[in-house]
Amino acid sequence: MEALKKLRIVIRAAQRHSNWIEKQCGVTGAQLWVMQELHEAPGLRVGEVAERLAIHQTTTSNLVDALVKKGYVIKARDQNDQRVVKLVLTEKGEAVITRAPTPARGLLPESLQKLNAEQLRELNKSLQALLNVIERADESFALQPLPFTM
């Protein structure tokens, strides 16, 4: 039961952080993470953002489209190759990311980065053992943000 309690704490902490982000910024946790990536590397393509967030490209497109509608991101064609669409924060988007609470990438990704290599290996091993005993575990969920961050 101790492991279950700890999992609940981790999930609820991530959920609380995501809710706080949305109240403070008016964007979801996943949208803020997209904005953080574009703040640090303007001109990324949707596929590059998807890779940085470790989510499916279609999901990333949906997140980006919502940010475009809010006026936080623009899609710009590459001058050298018109087939390439690059993403850039608008001034309005930059203002949001500048005043956004941290960590902008979300509590779980930032916390995982703080673990050393051995701790991360052990956590991965233990989580895989848990997944191995879960019937009908859907591996496609690995490429989807947590529902409360969307």
Mean pLDDT of 30-45: 96
pTM: 0.86
Q: pLDDT digit string (tens) for 93-143?
A: 999 999 998 888 889 999 999 999 999 999 999 999 999 999 888 888 888
- Can you name the residues that pair with 74 across neighbouring β-strands? 88
Residue 120 near residue 79 (C-beta atoms within 8 A): no
Longest dimension (CA), the chain: 58
The rounded distance, in Å, linking the Cα atoms of 145 and 150 is: 7
Which structural domain, as residue segments, surrounds residue 43?
Answer: 2-149
Mean pLDDT of 79-93: 90
Instruction: Give residue 101's pLDDT.
Output: 87
The rounded distance, in Å, linking the Cα atoms of 36 and 15 is: 19
Name residues whose C-beta falls within 8 Å of residue 82's C-beta, 6 or more positions apart in sequence: none
70 CB-contact burial (10 Å; exposed 0-12 / middle 13-18 / buried 19+)? middle
3-state DSSP assignment of residue 86: strand
Mean pLDDT of 69-75: 97
Angle between helices 29-40 and 57-69 (to 10 degrees): 90
Domain count within the chain? 1
CATH number reported for the structural domain that contains residue 87 in this entry: 1.10.10.10
